[in-house]
Structure formats: C-alpha cells, structure tokens
C-alpha cells in the first residue's frame, strides 16, 4: 500500500479505462449510466472509476474528483476526448 499512486489504465480490447484513486478494497459499485461506474470502499470513499466505450470519449460530469481523474487520464497520453 505504501507504493501506491493514483493512476489510470486502458484496456484496448475492452475499450475500457479504469482510474485508480486509492488502494483499498471495493465494497460496492454504482453505475452513473451504461458507460460510467464508480467503485466505493466500505466507508464510502471513492476507490476508482471505470469508463466503458472510451474511444468515443469520456464524460466527466458527475464524476467525483473530476480534475484528478482528468489529469490521470491525460497522463496516459492516448488523446482520449474528455467531456464535462
């Protein structure tokens, strides 16, 4: 847990992106819509955010820690379009 840093990963086969915010077990997930899922810890902290169909861009409206999530996606250097 000491070496963990927030980061994003992209799976081209699934056209999915996951943004890891904290290194803790996921207890529950909430879908904002068909393309966005937020994972929460047992105490309600946001663990991460999953985006599906990202080749069409990602919608960051209603996403917790939006600016951090946007920065981490940008650090991938994939040129993924961001919508807010």
pLDDT at 8: 98
**pTM, entire model:** 0.94
The conformation of residue 56, written as its DSSP 8-state character, comes to: G
d(CA 70, CA 64): 11
Asked if pLDDT for residue 1 goes beyond 70, the answer is no
Mean pLDDT of 5-28: 98
pLDDT at 33: 97
Average pLDDT across the chain, whole number? 96
Asked if pLDDT for residue 2 goes beyond 90, the answer is no
- Has residue 2 been placed in a domain? no
Q: How many domains does the chain have?
A: 1
Query: Domain limits at 17?
Result: 7-83
- Has residue 1 been placed in a domain? no
- Has residue 52 been placed in a domain? yes
pLDDT at 23: 97
């Amino acid at each position: 847990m000491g070496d963990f840093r927030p980061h994003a990963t992209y799976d081209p086969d699934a056209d999915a992106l996951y943004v890891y915010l904290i290194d803790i077990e996921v207890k529950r997930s909430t879908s904002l819509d068909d393309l966005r899922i937020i994972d929460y810890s047992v105490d309600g902290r946001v663990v991460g955010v999953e985006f599906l169909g990202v080749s069409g861009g990602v919608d960051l409206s209603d996403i917790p820690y939006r600016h951090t999530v946007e920065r981490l996606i940008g650090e991938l250097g994939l040129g993924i379009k961001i919508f807010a």
